[in-house]
Structure 1
């Protein structure tokens, strides 16, 4: 006689893994997802760029999404350009690239100009452009978070003027590329190229494929000007020890060995990109010429004096 009762398995029953059972998005689907996000990106980028462009709302146009290999990507982006690697809290990355001309156009607009770039591009970008690119990275990170429905802005993870340091010319991965054209009435237009690896595209575009975020990562506050990466940006300070007026005849007669007397003022200005940020007195420290700050520009309007 067979007794009644429940059957007991000798081993735990197998369970399906949702991560293994999930279907991997195909390249065309990922390209379509990025194309679908383009209208949201246009609106988000126009808003995030406003603080850089004097409060004006730019007209943004996005190109079609392209699937490109690394060699093609290296032809689309200049060998020397501003390449900003942005990263979300889950580790997924997106590359934003601008050529030198576009970077200088944007810098001129940020400082109130119409966007004029020199006929001959410099070998090295000025400090003002470095600051502008840091602000652009923040604006792009905010816009991408809104367009891709990310909980936090993407942060600047790396910057390089050489694309090969971020993407090898013989990289085996494929990439999705999207160009954003930015224009303001009466000003010169500029463009930024957005690129994501196909192997990482699902992490940014497909909700179910995104890596879980730790509570520490979610609670992490955005970087400030005194934290990396902004705190590590090198800026050039210029202390003007003397200025003088010399007749043209005297200048044309100058020759090696001549002596020009210098009248060093009591208050020496310290400039950051031709803007006086402080004043000080010439002296020495540890056996070298030094400047002892006596006044900071931001505190002059408050009637304070800072000695350092």
Structure 2
């Protein structure tokens, strides 16, 4: 008969508790991190594009050596080396060029098309969008890895060539995690994370030893969820002119109205001016450079 004070040992998920068993096989832990990353990245991408929250799915982690990954990289792509924590433990994020060009086209009001023929390099507009995309991914990774400065992720440098970027020694053993992004009315696209085993092991170890903080949920502000993902229509008023009723009623196709674009173009939401700027162009697209924000 079992003594009344004896209790069976508790059984816990080995990926969520401290101990050497959690560090022996990092794949299951990376899969759990990928699920949290998918949720955080979906919200970040919605804020980036101003559209509906996309569906983001995390794949199954796979083993790879950096030398093999480097030798199979083909075509124009963006590879960003990121650092985790104060020691800048390295990890790599790779984006194909096609989704980057689609996002740039959408940012300028286009339907999300890839230029034909495809450029050999990223134009300035794509570089600016890549910087925002990397920041979005870094924030989602920080959220996925958990609280603490040891898990804070930030972009370090970017290159279109893995050989030029040279993020890891050739014999570095990596875990690859693919994220598939699906948006309404747009082709699906993906990005790939490559984490050295040492980086992931350090993240898991600091995660286990991080103290649990108790506190009340913060009241969301206007720049936080669920408000941050709400799309708002911004209007740039290029021409503001007055016409008499007689002239207006006499307008016919082919008539020419002389107009003058103001030097200071207001940006408005709901009829209220939030900023002013000047008209210019970037990559053969009309653009507004902000000169003053209220």
| TM-score range relative to shorter protein | 0.5 to 0.7
Give how far 1:168 is off: 7.1
- Name the CA shift for 1:116/1:164 in 2 (closer, same or farther; >3 Å): same
- Name the CA shift for 1:184/1:270 in 2 (closer, same or farther; >3 Å): closer
- Aligned partners of 1:114 and 1:182: how far apart in 2? 17
| Superposition map of 1:191-270 within 5 A | 191-207=190-206, 270=280
The answer to whether 1:65 aligns with 2:76 is: no
Q: Could you tell me whether the CA contact under 8 Å between 1:114 and 1:188 is conserved in 2?
A: no
- Aligned partners of 1:59 and 1:182: how far apart in 2? 6
Give how far 1:47 is off: 0.8
**In the alignment, which of 113, 121, 125 is matched to residue 122 of structure 2?**
125
Paired position in structure 2 for 1:36: 32
Question: Runs of 4 or more off by more than 6 Å in structure 1?
Answer: none
Name which of structure 1's ranges 106-115 and 138-147 shifts more when overlaid on structure 2: 106-115
| Superposition map of 1:78-89 within 5 A | 78=74, 80-89=76-85
SS where residue 185 of structure 2 aligns? coil
Give how far 1:30 is off: 1.2
- Aligned partners of 2:169 and 2:190: how far apart in 1? 25
CA deviations on 1:166-224 (whole Å, 9 max, x unpaired) are: 3479711100101111111111222111111112221223326889xxxxxxxxxxxxx
Aligned residues: 206
- Aligned partners of 1:106 and 1:210: how far apart in 2? 39
- Structure 1: unaligned runs, 5 residues or longer: 1-21, 212-266, 279-296, 303-308
Give how far 1:23 is off: 4.5
SS where residue 45 of structure 1 aligns? helix
Q: Could you tell me whether the CA contact under 8 Å between 1:52 and 1:110 is conserved in 2?
A: no
Name which of structure 1's ranges 182-191 and 88-97 shifts more when overlaid on structure 2: 88-97
- Aligned partners of 1:116 and 1:150: how far apart in 2? 38
The answer to whether 1:271 aligns with 2:281 is: yes
Q: Which has the larger radius of gyration?
A: 1
SS where residue 188 of structure 1 aligns? strand
- Aligned partners of 1:131 and 1:151: how far apart in 2? 29
- Aligned partners of 2:172 and 2:21: how far apart in 1? 16
The answer to whether 1:298 aligns with 2:294 is: no
Q: Could you tell me whether the CA contact under 8 Å between 2:102 and 2:112 is conserved in 1?
A: yes
CA deviations on 1:45-74 (whole Å, 9 max, x unpaired) are: 101111212142011112110010123312
Paired position in structure 1 for 2:93: 96
- Name the CA shift for 1:111/1:188 in 2 (closer, same or farther; >3 Å): farther
- Name the CA shift for 1:190/1:78 in 2 (closer, same or farther; >3 Å): same
Give how far 1:133 is off: 0.2
SS where residue 202 of structure 2 aligns? helix
Give how far 1:77 is off: 3.5
